[in-house]
């Protein structure tokens, strides 16, 4: 399947298109993918010796070979099918030293899967919480000095059981400062624990920190988070 039939309302993307900044390019590509019904992710990035990004590759979230999620301890085995089905869609962009703009140098518009209707509802990267859920979260954040019994519906230690008020997975990002004190810096409510969901969470974290990735990232050995880290954190 190809995405040549993208509607005029969002516009097509083609070799030769240019952008003023990498942010502008990524915004445009995400708009295009969202309208078409698929999700983008960063595949690779290349920078020069001065740290200036010169090349980037984005691919469909269904690209790549399936990855086994088997672990040594069967108790921690998570039965979750891989979304990687070797979709060939990808796009390459470059910023030559002789130019101040970023340009599309090549693009493969072929997909090996169906497009997803209503991407904003079913693709984690584009999904948004309802106003009602956001209102409740804001309430608990502003009332953070409440006791554990009052905030129990939102804060539950075991995020794999989906026992919180919203019946969703709750993920935390905690940092350790130079005084060995821990600080909660980010939280995420999601409907699943897929690689794509973790990629979206980590990508949002990088955007909030101006693309400053952590030096170390410890997790509960979830394979999905590990692969998401490789695609998002390691490429930045």
- Structural domain spans, the chain: 1-121, 128-236
Mean of the pLDDT values across residues 185-214?
79
- Gap between the Cα atoms of 223 and 81, Å rounded: 12
Number of H helices, E strands in the chain: 6, 7
Q: CA-based angle 162:232:195, to the nearest 5? A: 35
Write the pLDDT tens digit of every residue in 111-169: 998 888 877 666 767 766 667 767 766 776 665 555 444 443 433 323 444 556 667 77
Question: What is the helix (H) or strand (E) element at residue 132, kind and residue range?
Answer: helix 131-142
Q: Considering only CA atoms, which of 23, 20, 43, 16 is closest in space to residue 103? A: 16
pLDDT above 90: residue 24: yes
Q: Residue 232 burial (CB < 10 Å; 0-12/13-18/19+)?
A: buried
Q: Considering only CA atoms, which of 204, 45, 48, 183 is closest in space to residue 124? A: 204
- Give the pLDDT confidence score for residue 152 in this predicted structure: 39
pLDDT above 70: residue 228: yes
Query: SS3 for 196?
Result: helix
């Amino acid at each position: 399947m190809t995405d040549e039939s993208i509607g005029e309302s969002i516009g097509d993307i083609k070799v030769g298109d240019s952008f003023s900044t990498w942010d502008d390019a990524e915004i445009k590509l995400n708009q295009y993918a969202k309208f078409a019904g698929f999700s983008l992710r960063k595949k690779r990035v290349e920078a020069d010796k001065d740290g200036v990004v010169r090349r980037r590759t984005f691919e469909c979230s269904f690209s790549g070979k399936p990855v086994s999620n088997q672990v040594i301890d069967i108790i921690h085995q998570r039965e979750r099918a891989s979304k990687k089905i070797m979709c060939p869609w990808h796009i390459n962009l470059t910023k030559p030293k002789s130019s101040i703009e970023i340009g599309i140098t090549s693009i493969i518009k072929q997909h090996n899967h169906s497009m997803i209707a209503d991407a904003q509802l079913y693709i984690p990267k584009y999904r948004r919480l309802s106003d009602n859920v956001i209102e409740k979260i804001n309430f608990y954040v502003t009332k953070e000095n409440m006791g554990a019994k009052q905030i129990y519906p939102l804060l539950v230690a075991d995020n794999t059981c989906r026992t919180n008020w919203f019946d969703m997975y709750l993920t935390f990002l905690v940092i350790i400062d130079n005084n060995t004190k821990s600080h909660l810096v980010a939280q995420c409510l999601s409907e699943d624990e897929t690689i794509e969901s973790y990629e979206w969470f980590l990508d949002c974290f990088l955007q909030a920190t101006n693309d400053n990735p952590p030096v170390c990232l410890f997790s509960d050995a979830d394979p999905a988070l590990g692969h998401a880290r490789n695609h998002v954190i390691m490429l930045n």
